[in-house]
């Protein structure tokens, strides 16, 4: 029998995580409704160019489909901007509005030709989309000010999560495309874990901020990798006990079996993943690396990235097992435009073929060599260019000799910073964990401090995901949901590194991770 | 160089789940299962039926393997016929022939633009020093296939080289629509393996390795934006129709020269490949750690030039440089890619590095300078 809402709530409450943030973290997870209410809604076309954004024209300025403050999540406010129920000077547009003539939900459906995206804080050069506006980077400073956790901030914000419980019977649909047929994955998991629940905790951070090592030198508006609207999640796998907790007078909840820590994998080759980013889940055994207080996992959130980790401190790159992190596509944004174009060259120019990136690099070295040769006189442009050619061949030779990038190579390049052990910024804990910090250890060095400690506010029932009425949960076979991006689209972003992301497919990533973990034993 | 794209450790059930992260899962048909493979509890698929196979669909990842490495832990139970271990449709194959010789083959061109034909190395004819090796029957072995994408295809049995061909002229082509087949043929139920497979790993050439290495140097706030501009300029040129044609023509020319030089190094045999790997490792370290204009790099440049001239001949290097010189002059590149950043002021280490090469590789048949 399916779980009741009350049973789901009790499971969510039981396993709710404790989040530990870095002292310099600027964003905490916020309520999606607050983010939506504070955002405008835009659409763009497949070119991604600003002259196709929103309404207006021909030409500029462009304006959004729904102005900032106009998005309503209430069906009885389906006014298409004609009425202003909040009397704030902005009409209301119901996000779930249905256009009966076109038979579409214009504010939920997002396809290549009509891609939707939210705009919460505009661009670094302002809110306008005009002939002269750059629109090349989101404005994290403005976002941080909007969601500052103080009474004067424009958007009332407090740490928030949404949560839901999946039963094993609901798993089938997520295995389609994961393995070749739907049932095998479920069988695999059943064999490994028996009947299980997965309890999900979803977090929306207003902004994503990147601090890749060495990238300081390259950072500018065009290359920092920041974006608006950053989702992440935690999944808790619990074996369903023979006697359910609520069937006994003193409910006893079982310990989880596995934890799934949501991480955004970066820089994957485009032929592995359609987008540069891919959602991953790092699976950990509850009795292994997972730190906890009772049944509540301690989760360490990396600064700016908001990836989740089982341990505090500097973290190796996510996806270290896949030796294919494409530093060339990532690389602080340097050369990403050329990289994307060279990928196309690879597909169309048979003489250059799959060596396009190596050859492109040689060409850059030739160019540099030619200019050096010209400036230095005796070598001359040609001499310099040919020296650049040799340097390029040397580079290609170095990558063609037999070696595999070691985890250490990538680790050094892509370390992330979760808070250091014992030295935290914000700590957010469930109400039944009055003090999540270690403070009475006989060894003083093991005692922990935090800049601030708060409990998850609100009622547990208000945190329950309800896909039938909450329109923001993205792709789901059964329910309508907003499928667009959660932050501004930006210009000159060929790898879509700096445009907002869609709600990630956490569930599929977790199940894939569980299957792989089961295979690895 | 190599990038892991498939890793199967077989478990009971109809699916071979890839744990490499690349999601190259396979469908298992008609294969049995052993709880204990090469080691207790490791699990292995048993191929006894003529229909037994694991089929991996051909995803985009298989379209440009270029180089390929395969490692399979297998047990051959009977010879007497061709026994396929793994084959990529119209692309590559690792198998054992009826006499127990191990074959690695690719379906590539024997000259640029030529028709594709199956070629490779086998341990019956191509063993080092003429030594013939046959795979032991009913024993677990590790077989490895390595095609470097340029010239060499080598086959190893338990880490010992048993066959090599250094005369290939092309890389590993795209895998066809039938995908990758383990323990059977790609086209029909034929060449089935009589034995078991415990583990399979496949790597391809990592297309981002070179660029990643280049960007792994310690840049700073002074020179990094300058390099960013070089890449931006290349991107702009590739977007402009007139400039694009010029740039692509020059790139095709560079690609030919680059491929030929690297191919000839690898065609020079095992000793040259080994020495090249040593030099490449040293270069990577010097580039990453810097200074790239220091005495160690200067010494390395001399060593490399000597190695290159000794291995493939000065004439080959000169011919390649002459060809690119002509292409470069024709491209009128600097008209289309005007200077936007002065590296002599921004990156003096790179200037030293370039002048180091310029001193060793003077233009041999330089046409009249146009600049």
Mutate to test the interface with A, among B251, B332, B361 (most CBs of A within 10 A): B251
Measure A351 CA to nearest chain B CA, in Å: 5
* pLDDT the model gives residue B366: 43
* Predicted pLDDT at A185: 63
| Interface touch B25/A332, C-beta < 8 Å | no
Inter-chain touch A395–B214, beta carbons under 8 Å: yes
Nearest beta carbon to residue B215 from set A323, A331, A390: A331
The rounded percent of chain A whose pLDDT value lies above 90 is: 56
Please tell me the pTM assigned to this model. 0.83
> Given B15, B234, B333, which is nearest A180 (Cβ)?
B15
Cβ of B214 within 8 Å of Cβ of A361? The answer is yes
3-state secondary structure of A299: strand
| Cα of A237 to nearest chain B Cα, Å | 20
Chain B residue with minimum CA distance to A370:
B334
pLDDT of residue A191: 77
Nearest-10 crossing angle of helices B295-312, B348-360: 30
CA-CA distance, A266 to A263, in Å (whole number)? 9
Residue A43 token pair: 């659409």
A331: which chain B residues are within 8 Å (Cβ-Cβ)? 211-212, 215
Taken in order of first residue, the domains within chain B and their CATH numbers are 2-205 (2.60.120.200), 209-361 (no CATH)
Chain A residues with CB inside 8 Å of B250's CB? 363
Q: What is the pLDDT of residue B365?
A: 43
Q: Do B255 and A401 touch (CB under 8 A)?
A: no
How much is the ipTM here? Answer: 0.89
Please report the pLDDT score of residue A271 as a whole number.
41
Cβ within 8 Å, pair A393-B281: no
Is B20 in contact with A358 (Cβ distance < 8 A)? no
3-state SS of A443-501? CHHHCCEEEEEEECCCCHHHHECCCCCCCCCCCCCCCCCCCCECCCCCCCCCCCCCCCC
From first to last of the 521 residues of chain A, give the pLDDT tens digit.
Answer: 789 999 999 999 999 999 999 999 999 999 999 999 999 999 999 888 999 999 998 899 999 999 999 999 999 999 999 999 999 999 999 999 999 999 999 999 999 899 999 999 999 999 999 999 999 999 999 999 999 877 776 676 789 999 999 988 777 666 655 555 544 666 777 777 888 999 999 999 999 998 654 454 554 545 567 899 999 999 999 999 999 999 999 889 999 999 999 987 654 334 444 444 567 788 999 999 899 999 999 999 999 989 999 999 887 654 433 333 333 334 455 556 666 667 666 666 566 777 787 888 898 899 889 888 888 776 788 889 999 999 999 988 888 777 665 444 544 555 678 899 999 999 999 999 999 999 988 888 889 999 999 999 999 999 999 999 999 998 777 889 999 999 999 998 877 878 999 999 888 888 888 888 878 77
pLDDT of A72 reads 96
Q: How far is it, in rounded angstroms, from Cα B173 to Cα A54?
A: 44
The pLDDT assigned to B48 comes to 97
Contacts of B355 in chain A (CB under 8 A): 372, 376, 379, 387
Of B23, B255, B360, the CB nearest to A351: B255
When scoring B22, B59, B147, B215 by the number of chain A Cβ atoms within 10 A, the one with the most, hence best to mutate, is B215
From CA A232, how far away is CA A254, in angstroms rounded? 25
> Is there a contact between B219 and A390 if contact means CB atoms under 8 Å apart?
no
CB contact under 8 A, A345 and B238: yes
pLDDT score, position B47:
98
Interface mutation target, options B1, B228, B285, chain A, most CBs of A under 10 Å:
B228
Q: Give chain B's residues under pLDDT 50.
A: 365-371
Which chain A residues are within 8 Å of B328, Cβ to Cβ? 366, 382, 385-386
How far off is chain B from A452, nearest CA to CA, in Å? 35
Closest A-chain CA to B337: A367
- pLDDT of A317 reads 54
**Nearest-CA residue of chain A relative to B204?**
A324
Q: Which positions ≥6 away from A99 have C-beta within 8 Å? A: A105, A106
């Amino acid at each position: 029998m399916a779980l009741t809402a009350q049973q789901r709530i009790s499971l969510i409450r039981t396993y709710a995580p404790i989040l530990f943030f870095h002292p310099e973290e600027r964003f905490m997870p916020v309520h999606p409704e607050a983010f939506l209410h504070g955002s405008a809604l835009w659409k763009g076309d497949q070119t991604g160019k600003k002259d196709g954004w929103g309404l207006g024209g021909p030409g500029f300025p462009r304006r959004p489909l729904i102005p900032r403050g106009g998005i309503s999540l209430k069906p009885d406010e389906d006014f298409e901007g004609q009425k202003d129920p909040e009397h704030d000077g902005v009409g209301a547009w119901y996000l779930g509005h249905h256009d009966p003539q076109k038979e579409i939900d214009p504010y939920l459906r997002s396809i290549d030709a009509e891609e939707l995206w939210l705009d919460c804080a505009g661009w670094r050069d302002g809110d306008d989309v005009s002939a002269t506006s750059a629109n090349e980077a989101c404005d994290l400073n403005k976002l941080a000010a909007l969601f500052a956790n103080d009474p004067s901030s424009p958007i009332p914000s407090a740490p928030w999560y949404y949560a839901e419980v999946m039963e094993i019977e609901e798993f089938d649909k997520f295995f389609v495309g994961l393995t070749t047929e739907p049932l095998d994955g479920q069988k695999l998991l059943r064999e490994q874990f028996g009947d299980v629940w997965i309890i999900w905790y979803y977090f929306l951070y207003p902004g994503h901020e990147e601090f890749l090592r060495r990238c300081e030198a390259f950072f500018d508006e065009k290359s920092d990798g920041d974006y608006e609207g950053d989702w992440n999640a935690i999944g808790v796998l619990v074996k369903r006990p023979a006697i359910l907790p609520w069937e006994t007078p003193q409910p006893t909840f079982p310990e989880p079996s596995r934890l799934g820590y949501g991480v955004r994998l970066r820089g994957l080759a485009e032929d592995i993943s359609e987008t540069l980013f891919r959602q991953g889940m790092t699976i950990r055994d509850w009795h292994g690396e997972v730190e906890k207080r009772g049944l509540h996992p301690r989760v360490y959130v990396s600064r700016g990235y908001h990836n989740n980790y089982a341990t505090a401190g500097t973290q190796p790159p996510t996806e270290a097992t896949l030796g294919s992190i494409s530093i060339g596509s990532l690389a602080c944004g340097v050369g990403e435009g050329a990289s994307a174009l060279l990928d196309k060259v690879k597909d169309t120019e048979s003489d250059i073929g799959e060596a396009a990136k190596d050859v492109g690099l040689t060409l850059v070295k030739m160019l540099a060599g030619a200019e050096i040769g010209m400036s230095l006189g005796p070598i001359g442009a040609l001499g310099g260019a040919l020296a650049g050619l040799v340097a390029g061949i040397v580079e290609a030779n170095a990558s063609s000799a037999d070696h595999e990038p070691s985890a250490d190579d990538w680790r050094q390049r892509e370390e992330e910073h979760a808070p250091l052990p014992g030295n935290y910024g914000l700590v957010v804990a469930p109400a039944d964990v009055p003090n999540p910090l270690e403070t009475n250890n006989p060894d003083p060095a093991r005692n922990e401090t935090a800049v601030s400690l708060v409990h998850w506010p609100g009622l547990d029932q208000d945190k329950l995901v309800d896909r039938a009425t909450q329109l923001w949960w993205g792709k789901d076979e059964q329910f309508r949901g907003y499928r667009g991006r959660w932050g501004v689209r930006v210009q000159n972003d060929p790898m879509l590194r700096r445009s907002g992301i869609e709600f990630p497919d956490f569930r599929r990533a977790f199940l894939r991770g569980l299957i792989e973990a089961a295979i690895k034993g | 160089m190599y990038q892991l794209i498939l890793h199967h450790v077989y478990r009971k059930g109809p699916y071979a789940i890839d744990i490499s992260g690349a999601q190259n899962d396979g469908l298992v048909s008609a294969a049995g299962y052993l709880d204990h493979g090469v080691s207790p509890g490791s699990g292995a698929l048993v191929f006894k039926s003529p229909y037994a196979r694991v089929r991996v669909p051909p995803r985009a990842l298989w379209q440009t393997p270029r180089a390929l490495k395969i490692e399979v832990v297998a047990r051959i139970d009977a010879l007497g016929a061709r026994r396929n271990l793994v084959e990529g449709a119209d692309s590559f194959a690792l198998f054992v022939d009826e006499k127990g010789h191990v074959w690695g083959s690719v379906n590539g061109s024997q000259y640029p633009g030529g028709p594709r034909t199956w070629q490779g190395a086998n341990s019956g004819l191509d063993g080092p020093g003429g030594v013939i090796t046959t795979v032991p029957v009913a024993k677990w072995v590790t077989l490895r296939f390595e095609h470097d994408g340029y010239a060499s295809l080598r086959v190893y049995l338990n880490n010992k080289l048993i066959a090599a061909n250094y005369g290939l002229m092309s890389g590993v082509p795209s895998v066809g629509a039938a995908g990758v087949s383990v323990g059977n043929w790609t086209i029909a139920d034929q060449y089935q393996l009589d034995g078991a497979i415990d583990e399979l790993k496949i790597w391809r050439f990592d297309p981002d390795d070179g660029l990643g290495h280049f960007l792994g140097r310690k840049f700073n706030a002074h020179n990094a934006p300058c390099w960013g501009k070089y890449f931006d300029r290349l991107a702009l040129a590739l977007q402009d129709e007139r400039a694009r044609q010029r740039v692509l023509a020059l790139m095709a020319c560079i690609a030919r020269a680059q491929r030929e030089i690297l191919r000839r190094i690898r065609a020079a045999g095992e000793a040259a490949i080994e020495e090249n790997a040593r030099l490449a490792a040293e270069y990577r370290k010097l580039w990453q750690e810097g200074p790239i204009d220091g005495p160690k790099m200067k010494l390395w440049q001399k060593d490399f030039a000597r190695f290159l001239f000794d291995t493939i001949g000065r004439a080959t290097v000169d011919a390649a440089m002459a060809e690119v010189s002509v292409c470069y002059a024709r491209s009128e590149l600097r008209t289309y890619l005007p200077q936007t950043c002065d590296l002599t002021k921004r990156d003096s280490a790179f200037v030293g590095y370039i002048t180091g090469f310029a001193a060793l590789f003077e233009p041999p048949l330089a046409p009249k300078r146009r600049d």
